[in-house]
Amino acid sequence: MALPKKTSNAALDALGNPLRRDIVALLADGPKAVGVIAKAFPVSRPAISKHLRILQQASIISMQPVGNRNYYQLERNGFDSAQDWMGQFWGDALNRFTMVAENTYRRDDDV
C-alpha cells in the first residue's frame, strides 16, 4: 500500500481533534461568523481561532471576509484527500481479507 499523501495527513490530523470535528459539524449547516462559532463552544476565542486556522490549513474550511466579519464555511473538496486515503486503505484491507477467507475456505474443503 502506498503511503498517504501529506494533504491527507493534514486533514486526518485536523479531524483527529473532537472540538475541530464539532466545528465541522456546526459548519455543515452553512457558513458561520467566527463569533457564532466561538459562542457555541466552552473554550476561549483565541482557542477557537487556533482550531479554525488548523482546519483552514488542512483545506477543510475556508474563510470569507464580509464587511468587518469573517465567515467560515466547509470547503467543497476539503475531505477528498482523507476520503481517498481511507478508500485506499480499506480497499487494500478488504482485498487481503478476501484472500485469507478464500484460502481458509479452500483448506476446509481439503479436510
Q: Is pLDDT above 80 for 94?
A: no
Q: Is 30 left (phi over 0), alpha (psi -120 to 50) or beta?
A: left
All three cell numbers of 13 = 490530523
- Give the distance between the most distant pair of CA atoms in the chain: 76
Domain boundaries of the chain, sorted by first residue? 6-110
Q: What is the Cα–Cα distance from 1 to 8, expressed in whole angstroms?
A: 15
pLDDT digits (tens, 9 = 90+) for 57-93: 999 999 999 999 999 999 988 777 777 777 776 767 6
Q: What is the Cα–Cα distance from 78 to 57, expressed in whole angstroms?
A: 10
For the chain, give the percent of residues with pLDDT over 90. 55
The fold of 6-110 is Arc Repressor Mutant, subunit A (1.10.10)
